[in-house]
A and B are shown apart, each in its own frame.
Chain A
Amino acid sequence: MSLVRGRLALVLLFGPCVAWNGLGCGDDSPSAAETIPSVADQAAGGGGAGGRPSAPEPGPPIVDLRADVNRDGEVRLDDPGDDADEETWDRAHGAIFLANIDDDEDRCSTTTSAGKPVSDEALADCNDASDLVVNGADDEDDLAPLRIAAWPNAPDDATGRVTLTAADQKRARLFIRRNGALEHLPSDAPISALELRAGVELALEGRDIIRDVARWNGELVLTFTVDGASRDGGPVTFGTDTVRLRLAPVISHHHLEPTVKAFVSNSGDKTSKNFQKALAVAASAAGVPEGVEAIETDDIWTQDFFETAYMSRPAKGGPHVVRVALRSANLYGNTAALPLRSAGRVAFSAFRTKDFAGVQQFDPAADPDMDSLNSTGNFETIPPYEHAGVAHRLGRILRGSVPSFHPDRSFAAMLDAQVVQAPLLVDTSWLLVGHVDETMSFVKTATPRGWKLLVNDPTLARKMLEAARDQGHGEAPMFTGKHWPTNAGSRPAEVTIQQVLDDVDVMATSAAVAISIDEQLAIVQAEVGLTEDEIIRVPFLHQSVDDLAVAYQPGMVNGIYLSDTHFAAPKPFGPVIDGEDIFERSLQGSLGKEGIEVTFLDDWSLYHVNDGEVHCGTNAIRQTSGAAAWWEAL
């Protein structure tokens, strides 16, 4: 609260001889509490000797705007923690507000009155911040509370205003409680003396997430000013107070957060339904609380068209969390009004609701040849770690991107702008599809770090097959019972170990891939400080399409981590020797040591033959472990 201007105002009003209580000099001056009539008295016309109501003596001005600066979930006028250094913001203190882009009353429509889909732009533009009202009681929870302390002696001509800069007015919106309800308070709109005397309740909503930190870093300042007229009629400012707030970032999930619900596309055919059933069984075994939900779409790559995340602000009783579905920036060029991958509309049509927001960010001029990288299968999150004295408490986003082959730059800028999970980039340009989930994943372990990296190792796969061949099993078949589907039927995919080892192109490609993965690993190891015993190698070979690599065997690393103790991997259909699939045995052994059970799901016909695997075809919302104190990650 600014006291200097308040005192100046007192001098102007009352002359130089004024004590801090504003009532004039002298020891026998009555106290403010004794002489200043209450607001009620003023309203009743009483308040002073002589019968005729008189304006109360103003007393020292109280120009005090408060927010939840100490992040305990409340705004308290009697707590200096909500006042001290409120004009600054850092990881230790400062109020937080949310982008109010969920839809608490499900009022946003995804179709026009004629039943046609609304444009992608219009779809994303509708949310609780797109109007000037607070959309129900649930919406109030999404707003950051603020309070103006009562100034019981505010003179009749006192007018308060809370202002935002012109730029910040586009980023946030204020509300004021009047007659029991929150109504929009435009920047610089007057707050009456009556209101100032009683104290005022305000609320702030963010109108969008941070999209580009070069344009806005998420912080804004509210300036509260009380003006009035001096005795001689000239204007006077009783005081000014400022509060700085920061918008909560969007935080992506890592695998140490157990799955709350898994998702899979239902394309309606038998293969899809069989996979859904198998996934549901695995999810049940893993104890996924809300099981598996099918998304009705022909787009089978559920991992690719949205990524789940969340944002939070402190609230009484625990953080208030709003989940987020980030729509992929895939440009499918359907029409000018619907340029994006249509399945991604689920970010709004299925997910946007109470406390669940949808977000999209894309550049319509992005290079279509790089569009595969915009699929959110190319968006993973390294779990939390500390290395070289720097703690990444929420982990880091991991994506495939190099200067010559990169995802949508505006989407990347949006991720960068969240700050708390600084993206780490590796080269996936040598892959046909180009997604990080093709070569890496993460599992929770009882180690000092708390997790290990799963990484594809084609050389291990080759050596396993060579060992089996050397033991006399060269004729053992792989991919038994599996087929390459075509329009009129299908062709058997079965090959023997020897045939695989004789396949020059598979051997050549797998060797090249081993080197490329090693380079990815070097980057992750250098950044994270991973040691060799924190890496679990997952064997499968690669083949070449147009001189780019894609999994030749179902890529077992490309599974869904359902809970701390359950990983659902693609069934490898490897050679069965001594009654066991040697590749299944390998993964079960590696993950079994960490207390993780592996369920193998047959994804051959649905995903593998189409250049993807289990992870590519599934998605999840997870527990929000970082909600409580994300600011510590700054």
Chain B
Amino acid sequence: MFAAVLVLSVLASVDARADVGVVITRAALGAADRQSLEKAVATDRAAHPAAFRAVEDVRASVKGLDESKRGRLAAVGPRLKALGRDALLPMLALLALEAAREDAVPSARRALRVGLLEAVGALRDPRAEAVLVAAAKADHADAHVAAAAARALGRLGSTSSVATLKALAAGDAGHRLAAAAGLGECRRAASVAVLRALSTDAVDDVRLAAVRGLGAVGNAQAWKTSGMVRTEEAATRQAAAQALVALFVAGDEPARRLSAEGILLVDDPGTPALIEAAKAGADDQTVTALTALTERFAKNPTR
């Protein structure tokens, strides 16, 4: 009897692990999406086994990277990015279909999860959308993973990305924080309005993340890279600049500093006029700060 219970519990735990990817459970994907992914992975594994070995190779090195890490997190993302587009399906398989093969310390687990999400997000491949939507929606105990998932989804820049992140922005504080990070990477005009709303959030961390997000969503150098669809560039950067100047006027530290940084990052040509207009009705201290901002904008270190 005892042996039967033991066998059943072992089988149950195996089943539990089989339902869990590194970042999300299989159940987090809709049935159709899961089947579609499983089929694509199986096909790709047969066609490109080297890519799967390569991703597994990086995964196997995470423990050592974590133990010898120099910064706050082992840099797994760049290693996965270097594998190129062939690594997409192996990485999606790890994210959503395959359990971690061994227990890892929390920092190593975080490094792998964040690294996978960053590398998948960097590819900006629509095939990743279902997994990234599920990853962004999932409840993550680790805020770093939640933010990385949201950022990865944001990088897709799709209508679905915007909708998912907008819905997250209406959720609890953890989801709103992740949403702010994700919307900053989602370079669409619609992101600005949501970020603007989050920039008045009652929770300081969310508020400040949204201010950072406004700078990121309008990042002029990001928009200028070829491959970016630039139809919404002018509108996004203009709206972001407007929001950031308003926040600069209204905000205290550190919101004001983050706003200034965002204004430089967005580098919208209309910014000097916005700053001048903001001086009207402002108190002397704010006018002085706005004048300094104008000088700083003129010598923008991003140009």
Contacts and interface: CB of A to CB of B under 8 A. Distances in A.
- Do chains A and B interact in one complex? yes
Interface of A: 301, 304, 369, 372, 375, 431-434, 457, 459, 462, 484, 486-489, 491-493, 501-505, 507-508, 510-512, 514-519, 543-548, 550, 610-612, 616
B222 A515 contact: no
25 contacts: A304-B70, A372-B70, A375-B70, A432-B75, A433-B70, A434-B72, A459-B302, A486-B54, A486-B61, A487-B61, A491-B83, A501-B225, A503-B225, A505-B122, A507-B222, A508-B216, A511-B222, A515-B261, A545-B73, A545-B75, A545-B78, A548-B73, A550-B71, A611-B70, A611-B71
B37 interface: no
Contacts of A372: 70-72
B76 to A, nearest CB: 8
A143 to B, nearest CB: 41
B257 to A, nearest CB: 8
Nearest to B299: A518
B222 A508 contact: yes
B118 A545 contact: yes
B60 A432 contact: no
Given A484-B79, A544-B77, A548-B73, 12 more contacts: A432-B73, A433-B72, A502-B226, A503-B225, A504-B225, A507-B221, A508-B216, A511-B302, A512-B219, A544-B118, A545-B71, A610-B69
A544 B151 CA distance: 12
Given A546-B73, A547-B151, A459 B222 contact: no
Nearest to A462: B221
B265 A511 contact: yes
Nearest to A518: B301
Nearest to B61: A487
Interface string B275-303: 00000000000000000000000000111
Contacts of B54: 486, 491
A23 B61 CA distance: 91
Contacts of A610: 68-70
A202 to B, nearest CB: 49
A408 to B, nearest CB: 16
A459 B181 CA distance: 24
A561 B3 CA distance: 68
Nearest to A511: B221
Contacts, number: 128
Contacts of B124: 504
B79 A486 contact: yes
Nearest to B157: A504
Given A502-B225, A508-B222, A515 B70 contact: no
B249 to A, nearest CB: 19
Contacts of B115: 545
Contact of A502 (B58, B75, B148, B227): B227
B78 to A, nearest CB: 6
Contacts of B82: 484, 491-493
B72 A512 contact: no
Contact of A548 (B58, B72, B181): B72
B53 interface: yes
B181 A547 contact: yes
Contacts of A487: 57, 60-61, 64
B177 interface: no
Nearest to A494: B82
A514 B79 CA distance: 24
A503 B77 CA distance: 14
Interface string B41-58: 000000000000110011
Contact of A546 (B70, B72, B302): B72
B210 interface: no
Contacts of A504: 122, 124, 155, 222, 225, 227-228
A63 to B, nearest CB: 60
A616 B301 contact: no
B39 interface: no
Contact of B70 (A501, A502, A548, A612): A612
Contacts of A489: 57
B264 A515 contact: yes
B78 A511 contact: no
A301 B70 contact: yes
B179 interface: no
A550 B81 CA distance: 15
A514 B219 CA distance: 12
Contacts of A550: 71, 75
Nearest to B221: A511
Interface in B85-132: 114-115, 118, 122, 124
A276 B221 CA distance: 39
A545 B117 CA distance: 11
Contact of A545 (B77, B220, B225, B301): B77
Contacts of B77: 544-546
A346 B75 CA distance: 28
A316 B303 CA distance: 58
Nearest to B124: A504
Enumerate the 6 nearest inter-chain pairs by beta-carbon distance, A residue then B residue, closest first: A508-B222, A432-B71, A433-B71, A511-B221, A518-B301, A487-B61
A568 to B, nearest CB: 20
Contacts of A510: 221
Nearest to B117: A546
Contacts of A543: 78
Interface string B11-37: 000000000000000000000000000
A265 to B, nearest CB: 12
A547 B226 contact: no
Contacts of A432: 71-73, 75
A518 B58 CA distance: 35
A511 B225 CA distance: 12
Interface string B225-266: 111100000000000000000000000000000000100110
B78 A484 contact: yes
A303 to B, nearest CB: 11
A433 B83 CA distance: 24
A486 B58 contact: yes
B158 to A, nearest CB: 15
Nearest to A503: B225
Contact of B53 (A488, A546, A548): A488
Contacts of A433: 70-72
Contacts of A508: 216, 219, 221-222
A27 B148 CA distance: 99
B253 to A, nearest CB: 11
A487 B77 CA distance: 15
B187 to A, nearest CB: 8
Contacts of B221: 462, 507-508, 510-511
B91 to A, nearest CB: 14
A503 B58 CA distance: 21
Contacts of B60: 486-488
Contact of B302 (A484, A515, A545): A515
